[in-house]
Structure 1
Amino acid sequence: MITIGRRHRSTGEAPFIDLGNDPEDPGVSHEHALLVQQPDFTWSLIDKGSTNGTAVNGAEDSIAPYMPVPLKDGDHVHVGLWTTITIHRD
């Protein structure tokens, strides 16, 4: 699993993908989302109940919290106010 979020300033805990660095995206929750590798080596995205939601490929609606969404090579994961993460398979 790969965690996406912002470092907790009080505890120092940091996600694997820490979006709390400059320029910090204030719309990203501390525990925003997870990327989970599936047995067939594909990836799924899970929103962890974030405040501002998580969208895939520019969709207007956020994905449902805690429901895995399959991803494919080249998909764009939108978190926070302006952050986009592009999925690439090796």
Structure 2
Amino acid sequence: MKFRFHALFGACLVALLLGLTPLGAVAQEVEPININTASAELLTELPGIGPSKAAAIIEDRETNGPFESAQDLTRVSGIGDGTVANLEDQITF
């Protein structure tokens, strides 16, 4: 009985460790996205940026010139301080 418990416990431990392995892959660092050169498709990978906001970002940069800081994104309709705060570490200029 004791042997069965140890074997079962060991198997569960191995399964748990193997199950957690992909979590390390998810935590990999991702290159920041350049707001001034990114396509609409790439911009939609940012949290809180869907197709319409991505299009608005591109339209704004074509009309008003490049963004120089994350705060400049607030000039795009629908992007406020909260969205900017979530994006700051994921974008570059």
The alignment's TM-score, normalised by the length of structure 2, stands at: 0.28
- Structure index of larger Rg: 2
Which of the pair is proportionally richer in helix?
A: 2
Q: Could you say which structure has the greater relative contact order, defined with CA pairs below 8 angstroms and 6 or more residues apart?
A: 2
Which of the pair is proportionally richer in strand?
A: 1
The alignment's TM-score, normalised by the length of structure 1, stands at: 0.29
